[in-house]
Amino acid sequence: MKDSKAVATDTVGAYRSAFGDPLHHVRTEKTRIQIGAYGAIAAFVIINYFVLGMNALQTLVTLGCCLAVATAAIEYAFARFFRLRKQGIYPSMLAMELGARHDLGQACEQSVRLVAELLGVEKVILAWSAHHDDQLTTIATHGIPPEDVPLATPLPWCQQAVKQAIEERKVVVTSASEDRAWLSASDGHGRVVYVPLLSLDRFVGLLILVGGRKASDLSDKRLLAIIGLAVGLTLDNLHHSTDLREVATHDELTQLFNRRHFFEQLEKELKAARRSGSSLGLLILDVDSLKLINDTYGHNVGDVVLANLGKVLANCLRAEDIPARIGGDEFAVLMPNTDKRRASALATRLEKALQTSPIYEGDGIELILTVSCGVAGYPWSGEDVGEILQWADANMYAAKALRKGQARATTMPTQKRHPR
């Protein structure tokens, strides 16, 4: 796997392959102007040497002064022009790269890598604003050991530079911090720059940049402000898109996938299993006593039971499994590359997990939940979605009927009342 610096360099390299070095033609034009200006000055001085009859010393002094003035003027003009070019190109490169990402975490990681590559800084911290509690949380770093600034750690608003960058919506430049070694450059000098990330006029996060003497772009506050706007707007849009995708594909109560997404994935995984000749497991489970729980203890307790069941279900699964709530009290799990034996083992493991721990504790009550599970899959239950679902439902209802034939204490949620 490539390291982060290599990935960032590849991204910049891909941009340059497609569009060319964004500053190359400027450098080329600068060289041409220098050659033309120096040649014209030399010719002018030589002509004056012969026409005005200047001596050698006067000629050399005049030539030196003209070259010095011309060099200073050209350097100043092109330094300004380089800055203007960077202000237009760097934000567009960042927006293009981050906008192509669909995962917010990956986009944040890529943003710190690209900022470090483009600006030549050694360390970058990206902190995101949690609007509900007014806290900045570190979500991505570059060039900093995890033990110095671990992810998901709060970045206090009370620091003066941080507070100023947030409240005034402007770039704040400070010297390297002596009491925080990770906020200093390798040469022992440098600057720490706080760049607010803005989505239009709304503050969404903060970039902290640490660079040594070679990081000359850290002195261009306008460039940094534009980068902050480009990164902030792009990440904020991606954040809202991620939220919308979560709402569209997840059940709000259990945080599992919803019915529509599950059946879309079932069709997709079944086609993939057919092509590869692999197996596909399906588990359908139904809560045995949800109506009784709702009638006895109220729907609030029933909602907590369902939410906790979703957590238990997620904890029993592999990363590649797809759990979903497909009805009020009905859940399903899609298990790629899983045969009948392993699918049945998951059902057994889930039932044992529910039997060993209360699904609800509160108000002096403990509830032990039971579920009825039906296992089916490809190819042992059928070749298409309808056949597989039919077998899973049949096995689930058979398990429920068997459970109903047992003692009432087994079919009803076990409860223990504790004295208040």
- The pLDDT, as a whole number, for residue 190 is 73
Whole-angstrom Cα Rg for the chain: 33
Asked if pLDDT for residue 18 goes beyond 60, the answer is: no
Q: Answer yes or no: do 299 and 394 share one domain.
A: yes
Determine contact, residues 273/240, Cβ cutoff 8 Å: no
What span, in angstroms and rounded, lies between the C-alpha atoms of 255 and 261?
13
363 SS3 class: coil
Asked if pLDDT for residue 387 goes beyond 50, the answer is: yes
In a domain, 13, yes or no: yes
Q: Which residue has the higher pLDDT, 91 or 187?
A: 91
Q: Which residue has the higher pLDDT, 78 or 413?
A: 78
Q: Where are the alpha helices (DSSP H) in 100-150?
A: 104-119
In a domain, 379, yes or no: yes
60 SS3 class: helix
What span, in angstroms and rounded, lies between the C-alpha atoms of 290 and 189?
65
Predicted confidence band of residue 37 (pLDDT cuts 50, 70, 90): confident
Q: Decide which of 243, 273, 297 is a domain's last residue.
A: 243
The 10s digit of each residue's pLDDT in 326-358 is: 988 999 999 999 999 999 999 999 988 888 888
Among 344, 315, 204, smallest CA distance to 254 is for 315
- The pLDDT, as a whole number, for residue 389 is 93
Q: Which residue has the higher pLDDT, 40 or 59?
A: 40
Q: Answer yes or no: do 286 and 235 share one domain.
A: no
Q: What does pTM read for this prediction? A: 0.55
What span, in angstroms and rounded, lies between the C-alpha atoms of 140 and 113?
9
- The pLDDT, as a whole number, for residue 215 is 84
14 SS3 class: helix
What span, in angstroms and rounded, lies between the C-alpha atoms of 149 and 167?
24
Domain range enclosing 8 = 4-243
Asked if pLDDT for residue 228 goes beyond 70, the answer is: yes
Amino acid (1-letter code) at residue 346: L
Q: Which residue has the higher pLDDT, 343 or 200?
A: 343
In a domain, 267, yes or no: yes
> What domain count does the chain have?
2
What span, in angstroms and rounded, lies between the C-alpha atoms of 309 and 323?
11
Which CATH number does the domain housing residue 264 bear?
3.30.70.270
What span, in angstroms and rounded, lies between the C-alpha atoms of 94 and 96?
5
- The pLDDT, as a whole number, for residue 20 is 46
The position carrying tokens 């009927």 is 401
Which CATH number does the domain housing residue 204 bear?
3.30.450.40
Q: Answer yes or no: do 301 and 228 share one domain.
A: no
Amino acid (1-letter code) at residue 80: R
Q: Answer yes or no: do 66 and 175 share one domain.
A: yes
Asked if pLDDT for residue 2 goes beyond 60, the answer is: no
Asked if pLDDT for residue 392 goes beyond 90, the answer is: yes
Sign of CA dihedral 346, 348, 351, 354: negative
Count Cβ atoms below 10 Å from residue 184 Cβ, excluding itself.
21
In a domain, 62, yes or no: yes
Q: Which two tokens stand for residue 21?
A: 């070095």
Residue 111 Ramachandran class (φ > 0 left, ψ -120 to 50 alpha, else beta):
alpha
The position carrying tokens 């995708």 is 245
Q: Which DSSP string do the residues of 16-42 spell out, in sequence order?
A: HHHH--TTHHHHHHHHHHHHHHHHHHH
Q: Answer yes or no: do 375 and 308 share one domain.
A: yes
Determine contact, residues 107/48, Cβ cutoff 8 Å: no
What span, in angstroms and rounded, lies between the C-alpha atoms of 206 and 202?
12
Q: Answer yes or no: do 108 and 179 share one domain.
A: yes
- The pLDDT, as a whole number, for residue 182 is 65
In a domain, 161, yes or no: yes
Sign of CA dihedral 263, 271, 284, 333: negative
Among 104-113, 152-161, 274-283, the range of highest mean pLDDT: 274-283
3-class SS shares of the chain: helix, strand, coil, % to 5: 55, 20, 25
Q: Answer yes or no: do 23 and 139 share one domain.
A: yes
Tell whether omega for the bond before 150 is within 30 degrees of 0, i.e. cis.
no
Q: Decide which of 187, 213, 243 is a domain's last residue.
A: 243
Among 187, 166, 184, smallest CA distance to 175 is for 184
What span, in angstroms and rounded, lies between the C-alpha atoms of 119 and 288?
60
What span, in angstroms and rounded, lies between the C-alpha atoms of 292 and 2?
55
- What's the mean pLDDT when you consider all of the chain? 81
In a domain, 248, yes or no: no
Which of the residue ranges 50-54, 91-95, 285-289 would you say has the lowest mean pLDDT?
50-54
In a domain, 250, yes or no: no
What span, in angstroms and rounded, lies between the C-alpha atoms of 92 and 230?
8
